[in-house]
Amino acid sequence: MSRVETRLAIITGAARGIGAATALRLAKEGFTVLAADLEDGAELQGVVAEMTAAGGNGLAVAGDVADPGLFPALFDRAESLCGGVDVLVNNAGIMVRKPIAEIDDMEFDRQIAVNLRGTFHGLREASQRMRKGGRIVSVSSSVAALRAENYGIYAATKVGIEAMTASLAKELRGRDITVNAVAPGATGTDLFLNGKSAEAIAAFARLAPLNRIGSPEEIAAVIAFITGPEGGWINGQTIHANGGVV
């Protein structure tokens, strides 16, 4: 099987990190990519330029996944461009790394709104409008299983994503649409690196038997496999891409 030029992927949180790496990877594999992020700024435009330079086709879209109107608008645009959506990657997310006792209501609500409700918005729209043979991938985190201190609310949102993933895979029975989650471990993204000392990063690296942190491109490769022709028998799963952290 080979990909065809009319296949379209929506990727949220595409301006940097895992989202940007996934957008570039799927664009190289022949997808038209709707690259969505909170702002259509220099970072997102840079990702689109990189996709174009690599011979792909990418378009930037600004929007907040917490807004229930974003995904209907993305699917509308996808249908006008390519007739529908073949891949959705729910990647947008934020993290407040604090003890639960120190997280205020605004910080709590925003993490829920972006990580959990934003992913729900994508899953809901995709469940109604994804084309036959489509692939839905949501980005979780290995922190959901580790239950690490200072990550309580963030981890709770990711546990919720994994639960919705397993449920939706069953709800789409007979539709030939797979629903999976990828749970990265420590990965060299701004979300992970910002606010951490070199010592803290090294400590995370030691958690993995491979003795390093991952790269956004390695996570993008896992997503590309799930959304590719060889990944069609993987469904309802959370794949831990973390170098062996248990």
Task: For residue 192, give the CATH number of its domain.
Answer: 3.40.50.720
Nearest C-alpha neighbor of 21 from the set 243, 146, 184, 231: 184
Residue 31 forms part of a structural domain: yes
The residue-averaged pLDDT of 8-12 equals 98
Query: Residue 227 above 50 pLDDT?
Result: yes
C-alpha span between 58 and 148 (Å, rounded): 37
Q: Backbone phi, then psi, for 119, in 5-degree steps? A: -65, -40
Predicted pLDDT of residue 119:
98
User: Pick the catalytic residue: 154, 159, 162, 185?
Assistant: 154
Average pLDDT of the residues in 31-41: 96
Q: What is the pLDDT of residues 189-221, one digit of tens each?
A: 988 888 889 998 998 899 899 999 999 999 999
Nearest Cα to Cα of residue 34 among 11, 64, 13? 11
Place of tokens 């003890």: 99
> Three-state SS for 83?
coil
Q: Is residue 96 part of a domain?
A: yes
Query: Quick check: 2 pLDDT over 70?
Result: no
Q: Is residue 246 assigned to a domain?
A: no
Question: How do residues 175-193 score in pLDDT, each as one tens digit?
Answer: 999 999 999 999 989 888 8
CB 21 within 8 A of CB 184: no
- What H or E segment, with its residue span, contains residue 157? helix 152-171
* Encoded tokens for 1: 């099987």
Q: Is the pLDDT of residue 61 over 50?
A: yes
Residue 138 lies in a domain: yes
Helices and strands (H and E) in the chain: how many: 10, 7
Residue 139 lies in a domain: yes
Domain that holds residue 20: 8-241
Residue 174 DSSP class:
T
Domain contains 1: no
d(CA 198, CA 200): 5
Is the residue at 2 inside a domain?
A: no
Query: Catalytic: 154?
Result: yes
- Domain count across the chain: 1
Instruction: Quote the pLDDT of residue 1.
Output: 32
pLDDT mean across residues, the chain: 95
pLDDT on residue 19: 98
Question: pTM of the entire structure?
Answer: 0.94
Q: Quick one: pLDDT at residue 194?
A: 86
**Shortest CA distance to 14 belongs to which of 76, 66, 71, 63?**
63
Give pLDDT, residue 4.
43
